[in-house]
Chain A
Amino acid sequence: MSQVNDIPIIEAIEFTNFKALRNAELPLSQFTLIVGPNGSGKSTVLQGLRWLRGVGINFDHALTIGVPRDDATRIVMTIRTRYAGKRFNVIRRLTPRHHNETDSVPRIAGNELYQHAVWQMLQTLRTFSLVPERLSQPVKLSASMNLLDDGLNLAGVLDRLRDQHPERFEQLNEELARWLPEFDRILFDTPMEGHRAIQLRTRKGQARIPASELSTGTLLALTILTIAYIPDSPKLVALEEPDHGLHPRLLRDVRDALYRLAYPDRFGESRPPVQVIATTHSPYFLDLFRDHPEEVVIAKKEANEATFQRLSDMPNVEEILEDSQLGDAWYSGVLGGVPVAP
């Protein structure tokens, strides 16, 4: 019997006719950082993951430019998964006539356990493209508070964390105070019955600063920390530009927070690991992955088509990088993944 404690992992996603990803395979690890120019498919990857979760896409908007549209045309995502030592594919298709046509998890003789585990992972995966204005909004409390893709519900999620996992909430407070030393605690306000809003207390003067008055970077840092400290994390989390709006010196902490999700055992945590996908345009953030080129994927765009390549699969990459910083090498263009003239 398989080890039921195993966690499914997506090893790769193949895209066909999906926006700039006409024919592209994205290799994935437990942690993957995707870098590349604008329009190279990074956001499309996140959109694809949302599609897997059930968020609809419009065929005509999603079809790769230049691909003829007829009844036989398909937009396809093939998700190559591994679970308990076995590999199998999940395919998501979209036709001009049937939006969201789905081939659900293929049947695997005698082992519904695999199907269930992988399907559960896909249904609970989370993609975040955080919008600062949404992070600061008061929220109406409900029994289950989940952070939405744009960051809405942050106040509710933190309120639940405080009530249901006070130890983790305290850890989060300590970590936040280290990241942003001007603050020492997350506080809550009740702007109206059944609603919550966040405040941060200043270390000096103990002033309560409402979320609406906090800087973009502060709100984003708080949200990334929250994602890292939620105890019942999804099996897969994808974040668009987690470095966005943050001081470069905080990026090591951001990396550590994401690593905490991906490799909890190495941080002394007993919870299951979360597969993490992040995108970035920051050479400073990229620098932090110099020791693990297998975690970096370069998105390249030529003409209207994008492709992906794992940095560690690039020929002679160690010689190319040798004494350079990874971010500088990427910026220079020697690794690809930079804007090119059409």
Chain B
Amino acid sequence: MKVAILGESSADEAVVRIFVDAILGEPTDSVERYRLRSRGWPAVLNQLPAVLHALYYQSDADALVVVVDSDSHPHDVAHDDPGPRDDSCHLCAVRSKIDAVRARLRPVQGRGSFRAAAGLAVPALEAWLWCGQDSLVTEQNWINGLWAGEIPYTKLKLKQWVYGTDRPDLVTETTRATERARRLAENLAMLEERFPIGFGALCREVRGWRGDLR
């Protein structure tokens, strides 16, 4: 299966690829034609329409996976209720954009269905990577802290934990992040349990593709 990954950095995209492969239970191929690269939020959101159009019309990609950091805008399950989405929520904003673009796509002869999935790392991808190292690092803990006005850890603190510095170079960041992702990929259940909204959503959507594949 050919899957394009769009994240906030190349290191994030390498991590997401590992998770997507683990969720699907088989390795995916990248879309060689496009070496996608974003540069943080909201660039991901801004370039999403162009990426989706290009992948759909000009590539043989089967799917796109988008994973972004929540920053201080985590997803609430209430956002999934019928009605307008809360576009201040990064996950809702990504989903809205994907839906809007897909609704406008013209049928293309010979093209199969094009799938898309979105995930949300609360507050940043490094929280997923630190999962299991510290029981306090969970989606709910961070969201509770945010509402209480006292977040339990910052994005910079997560970087220090994962990379040993809050200013990792790209090679270190990618190497350490993918090492941790490979270990975590062997225990997705833990990630899903501790990050049920953002990681859980990604798992559910990607697993939903399996039926299409068979």
Does A134 lie at the interface of the complex (its beta carbon under 8 Å from any beta carbon of B)?
no
Which of the candidate stretches B33-41, B136-144, B203-211 sits at the interface with the other chain?
A: B33-41
User: How close is A29's CB to chain B, nearest CB, in angstroms?
Assistant: 12
User: How close is A65's CB to chain B, nearest CB, in angstroms?
Assistant: 39
Does B165 lie at the interface of the complex (its beta carbon under 8 Å from any beta carbon of A)?
yes
Is there an interface contact between A178 and B156, defined as CB atoms closer than 8 Å? no
Does B73 lie at the interface of the complex (its beta carbon under 8 Å from any beta carbon of A)?
yes
Is there an interface contact between B40 and A287, defined as CB atoms closer than 8 Å? yes
Does B171 lie at the interface of the complex (its beta carbon under 8 Å from any beta carbon of A)?
yes
Question: A256-B170, A291-B155 given as contacts; is B39 within 8 A of A263 (CB)?
Answer: no
Name A237-280 residues within 8 Å CB distance of B.
248-249, 252-253, 256, 259-260, 263, 266-267
Specify which chain B residues have a CB less than 8 angstroms from the CB of A193 in the assembled complex. none
The A-B contact count (CB < 8 A) is: 44
Name the contact of B39 in the complex, choosing from A256, A287, A322 (C-beta under 8 A). A287
Name the contact of B165 in the complex, choosing from A252, A266, A284, A324 (C-beta under 8 A). A266
Is there an interface contact between A256 and B169, defined as CB atoms closer than 8 Å? yes
In this complex, the interface size class of chain B, counting residues with CB under 8 Å from chain A, is: 20 to 34
Q: A256–B165 Cα gap in the complex (Å)?
A: 12
Question: A253-B170, A260-B169 given as contacts; is B40 within 8 A of A290 (CB)?
Answer: yes
Question: A249-B37, A267-B169 given as contacts; is B42 within 8 A of A324 (CB)?
Answer: yes
Is there an interface contact between A263 and B167, defined as CB atoms closer than 8 Å? yes
Name A316-336 residues within 8 Å CB distance of B.
322-325
Name A171-198 residues within 8 Å CB distance of B.
178
- With most chain B CB atoms within 10 A of its CB, the pick from A252, A284, A290, A324 is A252
Is there an interface contact between A325 and B39, defined as CB atoms closer than 8 Å? yes
Question: Per-residue 0/1 for B42-53: is the Cβ within 8 Å of any A Cβ (1 yes, 0 no)?
Answer: 110000000000
Does B71 lie at the interface of the complex (its beta carbon under 8 Å from any beta carbon of A)?
yes
- Least CB separation from B43: chain A residue: A325
What DSSP secondary structure best describes chain A's contact surface? helix
Q: A291–B123 Cα gap in the complex (Å)?
A: 14
Does B166 lie at the interface of the complex (its beta carbon under 8 Å from any beta carbon of A)?
yes
User: How close is B111's CB to chain A, nearest CB, in angstroms?
Assistant: 29
User: How close is A47's CB to chain B, nearest CB, in angstroms?
Assistant: 29
Specify which chain A residues have a CB less than 8 angstroms from the CB of B170 in the assembled complex. 252-253, 256
User: How close is B15's CB to chain A, nearest CB, in angstroms?
Assistant: 16
Specify which chain A residues have a CB less than 8 angstroms from the CB of B172 in the assembled complex. 267
Is there an interface contact between B166 and A291, defined as CB atoms closer than 8 Å? yes
Is there an interface contact between B171 and A178, defined as CB atoms closer than 8 Å? yes
Name the contact of B73 in the complex, choosing from A178, A259, A260, A323 (C-beta under 8 A). A323
- Least CB separation from B93: chain A residue: A323
Does B96 lie at the interface of the complex (its beta carbon under 8 Å from any beta carbon of A)?
no
Does B72 lie at the interface of the complex (its beta carbon under 8 Å from any beta carbon of A)?
yes
Is there an interface contact between B71 and A323, defined as CB atoms closer than 8 Å? yes
Question: Per-residue 0/1 for B15-47: is the Cβ within 8 Å of any A Cβ (1 yes, 0 no)?
Answer: 000000000000000000000010111110000
User: How close is B121's CB to chain A, nearest CB, in angstroms?
Assistant: 15
Is there an interface contact between A322 and B72, defined as CB atoms closer than 8 Å? yes
Specify which chain A residues have a CB less than 8 angstroms from the CB of B42 in the assembled complex. 323-325
Specify which chain A residues have a CB less than 8 angstroms from the CB of B71 in the assembled complex. 322-323
Specify which chain B residues have a CB less than 8 angstroms from the CB of A323 in the assembled complex. 41-42, 71, 73, 88
- Least CB separation from A262: chain B residue: B167
Name B160-188 residues within 8 Å CB distance of A.
164-172
Specify which chain B residues have a CB less than 8 angstroms from the CB of A284 in the assembled complex. 39
Question: A291-B155, A291-B156 given as contacts; is B169 within 8 A of A325 (CB)?
Answer: no
Q: A325–B170 Cα gap in the complex (Å)?
A: 19
Q: A234–B27 Cα gap in the complex (Å)?
A: 48
Question: A322-B72, A325-B40, A325-B42 given as contacts; is B169 within 8 A of A259 (CB)?
Answer: yes
Extra A-B contacts (13), CB below 8 Å, given A253-B169, A256-B171, A287-B39:
A178-B171, A249-B37, A256-B170, A259-B169, A266-B165, A266-B168, A267-B169, A284-B39, A287-B40, A291-B155, A291-B166, A323-B71, A325-B43
Seen from chain B, the residues whose Cβ lies within 8 Å of a Cβ on chain A are: 9, 37, 39-43, 71-73, 88, 155-156, 159, 164-172
List 9 A-B residue pairs with CB atoms under 8 Å apart, sorted by A's residue number.
A253-B169, A253-B170, A259-B169, A263-B165, A266-B165, A291-B156, A291-B166, A323-B71, A323-B73
Seen from chain A, the residues whose Cβ lies within 8 Å of a Cβ on chain B are: 178, 248-249, 252-253, 256, 259-260, 263, 266-267, 284, 287, 290-292, 322-325
What 7 A-B pairs are tightest by C-beta distance, nearest first? A256-B169, A266-B165, A259-B167, A252-B170, A287-B39, A266-B167, A256-B170
